[in-house]
Every structure is written in structure tokens, then in C-alpha cells.
């Protein structure tokens, strides 16, 4: 009894103190009110919604491991003689940046593992951003009201690419120095301003002493700062606009059906964070990545064979390797088409297209309504075709980025492989577009068949006369709802005046017919169509609902 009293009293006092502090704080900041509705937010449950979380968690791991590395890394190009534990390089003259990377790898306890986790996390960060972007694209989650979040997302991708490049350039090893030299080539290729830009960036002649400290400031301060700010804005918008969800019975364009943020979603998310961390730690322990000590220090007169950038820069490398070398003298300036076209124009166009896509689709379809239900990719054959074509084009470039390794592995000549990949660069994307569009329409036809005839029941009936007949059973109402709940734009009407109409209006009408014309109609009565239109329509602004279901967005 005595024991009981001595243990509870301080506890009760602490509880009362905490309650008092919370009340006092809440009177000054309306935290409870805001917190309560935030903790109640519904998050729909689907594996594809975890891709953004992988990006988020790998970014958090990058920051954690990066902070550790900053304690030991020296961003300096000053030459020194290596005297550390790695015997093959002892006595070799190298930069302090490289020497400190060797120091982290061989003298700092756990240093090599943290370097490995940092590098693997960077590879995963960019991969998860890429796959997350594909999910958003193929399900149409970029449409109104999420265009701004798409724009922020594309900027995050751009910043992440720069962050990765700045990071792997820091150790000043043979591979990263080669990458920096390549990057300087891109800068020099900019017509008229290239030489000035290169001097500005490198603080004089290449490589100079400035580039590593500058890249370091960008890598640990500027780019992470921008990334943190934009990721925060991105997530605030996800919470504010709420998440898209897959059509299902009960999930409509006006509600969100899912687990509340607290405790279910938070617990699941925390578990997922540790799973991502665990996989990265395992990979880092068993699979060596970027062994800079094996490459040696950077020397401008040396390049190793099979030098490859990190995978996310592979498409640029591939574009450079595919482009034939060509130069033109114009007004006293030399224009080097390679690397100008593949390394400056191509990424510029790629990002412009990414930024513009939601606005282009809205213009072409005339669809200005809010969309909160994720599209099944098959229901948007042209968008799906465009996405698959872009993916196939990216794959060709990625393969071209490693064409020397491929040629060596496959025992073919690099020239022959290059010619083949050049043809692929032109032929594969249109072929992929055509195939994906046909496949999407075929899948729609299959959905229609399921609705009309049901699914195969798995047995056949033989008539007395000997004929066979397959048997079907009706699909359930839940599945039928998923197949029928779609809201597709119709082609825009032809502009008044026909051929005399402004060219822009005629172009828009033709594009709209091409973009929205492909569809297999689902068998539905007029009443069913009206019901589907009502369920998939966007919200009328209102209030939230119970835990796990937000009734109005
Ligand atoms: C640092 C990179 C990024 C991080 C950490 C991140 C994180 C997230 C998270 C956690 C979500 C909610 C869960 C999900 O839908 O997956 C989300 C949603 C979203 N993200 Fe990202 N994202 C990043 C990059 C991008 C990119 C590159 C794009 C597109 C270009 C993008 C566009 C969107 C959109 C439109 C949503 C709302 C999706 C919906 O409501 O269905 N994000 N992001």
C-alpha cells in the first residue's frame, strides 16, 4: 500500500501539470482544435500510395546519414599526401576531399556503412520519386485540384537530380571527377554564354579549387533546404486537398474512405519507415556501392572503362552516347550539337513537358472539373500510351548510357549496338504508344464482357447433340461498381465555322477527338449512368465526417 502511494502521487501530479500546460498552450495556440481534425484525417489504403512515402523516408534517411558524414568530410581541393589506413593509396598525392572520404571509409567507426546507407538511400530516393511520379501520371492524380502539387513534385524531381549529382561529385575520385568534367562540357556547350558560365561555376579554369566547396554548400545547405521546404508544401497540399482514392463501393468523388491518421495510419507509417531503413541497411551491408577507394583520385588525363554515372543520370549519359558528333560555325561561334542537344536541350524539353502536361491535358479535353477518384490506366488509353512511350524512350536512353558494358557483355561491337539503339530511340516509343493504347482498349473490352456475360465459371456443359457451352457466373456488385465507375471526357464539339475557324480551335478539336475518342462503352442503363455521374462527381464544399471517412472534401 505504501509502495502504491509513493508511486502514484508523483505520476498524478505530473499528469495534472501536463494537463495544465496543454490547456495553457491551447488557450494561446489553437493546437488541440487543429490537431484533432488532423489526427482524424482519412488516408486511403493502397500499396501504390506508399511510393511517395518511400521517397519521404529515404529523404529522411539521407538527411540523418548526411549529417553524420558532414562531421568528417573536408570539402577542399588542397593537395595532401595520403597517410591513412588504406594501404594501396598510402603516399599518393590527392585532394583533402578524397582523403577525408577515405578517412570516413577506413578510419571512422561505422563510417563506411553510413556512406553506403547514404548512397543507397540516394539511389532509392530517386527511384521512388520516379515510380511515384508514374503512379500520379497513370492514375490522373495531377488533375484539378492537384496541378500545383504536380508542379511542386516536378521541381522536387529536378532538385533531387541536382542534389544526387552534387553529392556523388564531392569525393573527388576518378569517377566523380569524370562526371564533373562531363558536366563542364554541357555548360561549355551553351551557345555564346557557355565559356562565361563555366568560368563562373568553376571559379576559373577547370577544375580549379572552388568547385568542391561550392558543390558542398549546395549539397548540404541550399538544395536540402529547398527540398525540405518543398516537401513540406507538398505534404501540406496532400493533407489540404486530401488523397485521391480508387473507386470502390462507398468511395466516391466526394468522400475519402480510409484509416484515420492516428493511430492506424501513423503506426503503419512508422513501421514502414523502419522497413525502408532496414532494407537500406541490409543492402548497404551486403552490396557495395561507389567504392571510391578502388577508383583512385581524379586525374584529368585518366578515365576508366565502363565509367557510369548513378542510374538517375544514365538517361543523359545515354543521350550523349547516342547523338552523333556534329559542329556548326555560326557568326564566329562553334555550336557543338553534341552535347548541346542531348545534354542541354533534351533535359530542358523533358522538364517543360512534365510541367506542362496537366495543363495540356486540361486544354485538350476541356475537362475542368475536380477529380478525386484515381483513373484505371486502361480507361485513358491515350494518356497510358503516352506514359508507356515515354517510359520506353527513357529505357532506350538508360541502356545507351551503359552501351559499352552491354556491348562487352553481349559480345557485340559498340558501333553496331549504338546504331541499333539509335533506331530504337526513333522506333520504340511510337510502337510502345500503339501497343499500350491497344492493350488498354482490349482491357476495357474485357471489362465490358465481364459486365455483360460474367466471368468464366470454370466448367463446360455438353449438350445431348455433342455441342459444348462454356458457363459464366455474374460478377459481384462491388466488382461491377469498380468497372463502371469512371468519368471520361467526351471529344470537344467541332469549332463553329468548320474549315474557316481559327487554326488553334481546329487543332484543339482534332487533338480532343484523338485524345478522348478511344473508348469501349460499358453496358449501363440511363439510371445507372446518372448514378455513376453523381458518385464520381467532385465535391460541393462542406464539412468533415467521422473517423476514417471524410464526407466532403
Ligand atoms: C521528394 C520527392 C517527393 C516526396 C517526398 C513526395 C511525397 C509524397 C507523399 C508522401 C504523398 C502522399 C502519398 C502518395 O500519394 O504517394 C504524395 C502525393 C502526391 N505527390 Fe508526391 N512526393 C515527391 C515527389 C513528387 C513528384 C515528382 C510528383 C509529380 C511530378 C508528385 C506529385 C504528387 C501528387 C500530385 C500527390 C497527390 C496524390 C493524390 O492525392 O493521389 N510528388 N507525395
Nearest CA to ligand 1 atom 15: 49
Tell how far the Cα of 141 is from the centroid of ligand 1, in angstroms.
9
Q: Which residues, 6+ apart, have CB-to-CB distance to 251 below 8 Å?
A: 44, 245, 257, 373
Q: Is the pLDDT of residue 16 over 70?
A: yes
3-state secondary structure string across 199-231 = HHHHCCCCCCCCHHHHHHHHHHHHHHHHHHHHH
Q: Which atom of ligand 1 is nearest to the CA of 50?
A: 16
> What is the best residue among 49, 164, 238, 256 to mutate for testing ligand 1's pocket, by most ligand atoms within 8 Å of CB?
238
CA atoms of 160 and 142, how far apart (whole Å): 20
Which pTM does this prediction carry?
0.92
* Packing angle, helices 414-453 and 314-322, rounded to 10: 120
Tell how far the Cα of 382 is from the centroid of ligand 1, in angstroms.
23
CA atoms of 315 and 164, how far apart (whole Å): 14
**Percent of the chain predicted with pLDDT > 70:** 95
Tell how far the Cα of 73 is from the centroid of ligand 1, in angstroms.
32
Tell how far the Cα of 399 is from the centroid of ligand 1, in angstroms.
27
C-alpha cell read off for 320: 550523349
The Cα angle at residue 249 between residues 248 and 251, in degrees rounded to 5: 65
C-alpha cell read off for 33: 482544435
Tell how far the Cα of 42 is from the centroid of ligand 1, in angstroms.
17
Nearest CA to ligand 1 atom 28: 153
C-alpha cell read off for 257: 474512405
**Domain 57-375 belongs in CATH node 1.20.810.10:** yes
Tell how far the Cα of 149 is from the centroid of ligand 1, in angstroms.
7
447-475 pLDDT, tens digit per residue, is 999 999 999 888 888 888 888 888 889 99
Partners of 165 in beta bridges? none
Residue 459: its pLDDT value, please?
85
Tell how far the Cα of 229 is from the centroid of ligand 1, in angstroms.
14
CA atoms of 55 and 421, how far apart (whole Å): 31
CA atoms of 525 and 552, how far apart (whole Å): 27
Average pLDDT, the chain: 92
Q: Is the pLDDT of residue 542 over 50?
A: no
State the pLDDT confidence band at 334, using cuts at 50, 70 and 90.
confident
Q: What's the sign of the alpha-carbon dihedral 141, 146, 148, 149?
A: negative
- Residue with grid cell 583520385, as numbered in its chain: 297
C-alpha cell read off for 123: 539511389
Which contiguous run of DSSP H or E holds residue 447? helix 414-453
Q: Is the pLDDT of residue 26 over 80?
A: no
C-alpha cell read off for 444: 476495357
Nearest CA to ligand 1 atom 41: 244
Query: Residue 119 in contact with residue 99, Cβ under 8 Å?
Result: no
Q: Ligand 1: residues within 6 Å at CB? A: 49, 51-53, 55-56, 59, 129, 132-133, 136, 141-142, 146, 149-150, 153-154, 156-157, 160, 231, 234, 238, 243-244
CA atoms of 510 and 198, how far apart (whole Å): 45
Nearest CA to ligand 1 atom 23: 153
294-317 pLDDT, tens digit per residue, is 999 999 888 877 788 999 999 999
> What is the best residue among 52, 227, 245, 253 to mutate for testing ligand 1's pocket, by most ligand atoms within 8 Å of CB?
52
CA atoms of 139 and 132, how far apart (whole Å): 11
Residue 540: its pLDDT value, please?
64
Q: What's the sign of the alpha-carbon dihedral 364, 366, 372, 373?
A: negative
Q: Which atom of ligand 1 is nearest to the CA of 241?
A: 40
> What is the best residue among 51, 53, 55 to mutate for testing ligand 1's pocket, by most ligand atoms within 8 Å of CB?
55
Distances (CA, A) of 415 to 213, 309, 317, 404, 425: 39, 21, 16, 10, 15
Query: Residue 442 in contact with residue 343, Cβ under 8 Å?
Result: no
Q: Which residues, 6+ apart, have CB-to-CB distance to 76 below 8 Å?
A: 95, 96, 97, 209, 212, 213
Distance from chain centroid for Cα 50: 12
Partners of 373 in beta bridges? 245
Q: Where is mean pLDDT largest: 412-426, 489-503, 529-543? A: 412-426
Q: Is the pLDDT of residue 543 over 60?
A: no
Nearest of 390, 409, 424 to residue 321 by alpha carbon: 424
Nearest CA to ligand 1 atom 37: 238
135-170 pLDDT, tens digit per residue, is 999 999 999 999 999 999 999 999 999 999 999 999
Tell how far the Cα of 235 is from the centroid of ligand 1, in angstroms.
8
Nearest of 64, 104, 38 to residue 276 by alpha carbon: 64
CA atoms of 2 and 142, how far apart (whole Å): 64
237-262 pLDDT, tens digit per residue, is 999 999 999 999 889 999 999 999 88
CA atoms of 366 and 516, how far apart (whole Å): 10
434-448 pLDDT, tens digit per residue, is 999 999 999 999 999
Residue 7: its pLDDT value, please?
53
> What is the best residue among 43, 63, 135, 153 to mutate for testing ligand 1's pocket, by most ligand atoms within 8 Å of CB?
153
CA atoms of 167 and 123, how far apart (whole Å): 11
Residue 3: its pLDDT value, please?
44
Amino acid at each position: 500500500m505504501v509502495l502504491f502511494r509513493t508511486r502514484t502521487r508523483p505520476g498524478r501530479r505530473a499528469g495534472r501539470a501536463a494537463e495544465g500546460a496543454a490547456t495553457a498552450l491551447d488557450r494561446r495556440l489553437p493546437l488541440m482544435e487543429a490537431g484533432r481534425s488532423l489526427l482524424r484525417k482519412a488516408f486511403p489504403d493502397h500499396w501504390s500510395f506508399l511510393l511517395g512515402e518511400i521517397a519521404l523516408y529515404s529523404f529522411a534517411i539521407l538527411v540523418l546519414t548526411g549529417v553524420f558524414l558532414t562531421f568528417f568530410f573536408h570539402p577542399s581541393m588542397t593537395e595532401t599526401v595520403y597517410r591513412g589506413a588504406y594501404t594501396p593509396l598510402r603516399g599518393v598525392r590527392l585532394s583533402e576531399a578524397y582523403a577525408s572520404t577515405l578517412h570516413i571509409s577506413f578510419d571512422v567507426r561505422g563510417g563506411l556503412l553510413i556512406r553506403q546507407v547514404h548512397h543507397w538511400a540516394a539511389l532509392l530516393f530517386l527511384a521512388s520519386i520516379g515510380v511515384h511520379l508514374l503512379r500520379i501520371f497513370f492514375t490522373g492524380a495531377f488533375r484539378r485540384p492537384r496541378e500545383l502539387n504536380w508542379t511542386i513534385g516536378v521541381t522536387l524531381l529536378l532538385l533531387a537530380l541536382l542534389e544526387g549529382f552534387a553529392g556523388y561529385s564531392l569525393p573527388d575520385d576518378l569517377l566523380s571527377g569524370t562526371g564533373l568534367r562531363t558536366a563542364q562540357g554541357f555548360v561549355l556547350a551553351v551557345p555564346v554564354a557557355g565559356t562565361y558560365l563555366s568560368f563562373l561555376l568553376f571559379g576559373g579554369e577547370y577544375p580549379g579549387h572552388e568547385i568542391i566547396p561550392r558543390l558542398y554548400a549546395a549539397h548540404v545547405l541550399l538544395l536540402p533546404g529547398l527540398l525540405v521546404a518543398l516537401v513540406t508544401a507538398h505534404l501540406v497540399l496532400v493533407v489540404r486537398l486530401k488523397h485521391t482514392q480508387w473507386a470502390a463501393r462507398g468511395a466516391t468523388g466526394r468522400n475519402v474512405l480510409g484509416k484515420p491518421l492516428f493511430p492506424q495510419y501513423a503506426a503503419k507509417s512508422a513501421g514502414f519507415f523502419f522497413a525502408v531503413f532496414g532494407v537500406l541497411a541490409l543492402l548497404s551491408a551486403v552490396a557495395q556501392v561507389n567504392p571510391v577507394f578502388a577508383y583512385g583520385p581524379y586525374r584529368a588525363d585518366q578515365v576508366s572503362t565502363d565509367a557510369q554515372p548513378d542510374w538517375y543520370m544514365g538517361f543523359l549519359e545515354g543521350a550523349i552516347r547516342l547523338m552523333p558528333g556534329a559542329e556548326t560555325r555560326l557568326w564566329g561561334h562553334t555550336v557543338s550539337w553534341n552535347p548541346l542537344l542531348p545534354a542541354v536541350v533534351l533535359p530542358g524539353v523533358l522538364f517543360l513537358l512534365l510541367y506542362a502536361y496537366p495543363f495540356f491535358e486540361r486544354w485538350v479535353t476541356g475537362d475542368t472539373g475536380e477529380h478525386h477518384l484515381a483513373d484505371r490506366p486502361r480507361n485513358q488509353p491515350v494518356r497510358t500510351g503516352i506514359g508507356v512511350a515515354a517510359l520506353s524512350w527513357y529505357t532506350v536512353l538508360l541502356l545507351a548510357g551503359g552501351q559499352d558494358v552491354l556491348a562487352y557483355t553481349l559480345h557485340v561491337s559498340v558501333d553496331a549496338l549504338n546504331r541499333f539503339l539509335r533506331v530504337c530511340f526513333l522506333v520504340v516509343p511510337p510502337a510502345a504508344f500503339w501497343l499500350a493504347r491497344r492493350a488498354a482498349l482490349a482491357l476495357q473490352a474485357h471489362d465490358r464482357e465481364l459486365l455483360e456475360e460474367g466471368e468464366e465459371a470454370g466448367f463446360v456443359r455438353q449438350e445431348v447433340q455433342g455441342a459444348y457451352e462454356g458457363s459464366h457466373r455474374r460478377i459481384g456488385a462491388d466488382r461491377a461498381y469498380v468497372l463502371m465507375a469512371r468519368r471520361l471526357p467526351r471529344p470537344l464539339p467541332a469549332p463553329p465555322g468548320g474549315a474557316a475557324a481559327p487554326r488553334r480551335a481546329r487543332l484543339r478539336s482534332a487533338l480532343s477527338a484523338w485524345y478522348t475518342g478511344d473508348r469501349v462503352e460499358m453496358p449501363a442503363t440511363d439510371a445507372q449512368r446518372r448514378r455513376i455521374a453523381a458518385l464520381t462527381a467532385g465535391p460541393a464544399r462542406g464539412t468533415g465526417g467521422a473517423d476514417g471517412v471524410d464526407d466532403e472534401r
